[in-house]
Amino acid sequence: MKHKIEVKGIKLYAFHGCLEEEARIGGHYVVDVTIFTDFSEAANTDDLSKTVDYVYVNAIVKEEMAIRSKLIETVGQRIFSRIKTELNGVLDLAVKITKLTPPINGDVDSVAIVIEG
């Protein structure tokens, strides 16, 4: 059976970007993680160890977002790789990082990257 766990709207302040101001001033980000898994055993036994612990997902996101990178693509790949390798039972995964009000010479609400696999 295939189930989905979503950890959506992880709000963070981080210092990613190619511009020097972004390294100094930082900006607002929102991260969404969708994990496809089979949590049948957890549902039947009420046992957290039999499913993906979304507290740990949130911790991975916070740790990786705290490491400065020029590209959110790089941060997204680190988050994706850690979740895939450190958490058991992940069948498929999607990580979305949204950068709010990016400094791109225009009136833009956000830009985002999505990594799926």
Q: The tokens 């020097």 sit on which residue?
A: 20
- Structural domains in the chain, sorted by start: 3-116 (3.30.1130.10)
Write out pLDDT tens, residues 62-109. 999 999 999 999 999 999 999 999 999 999 999 999 999 988 888 999
Q: For residues 68 and 26, what is the distance between their CA atoms, to the nearest angstrom?
A: 10
* Residues labelled catalytic: 99
pTM of the prediction? 0.94
Residue from 113, 99, 59, 114 nearest 82 by CA: 59
CA angle (67 as vertex; 114, 35 as ends), nearest 5 = 35
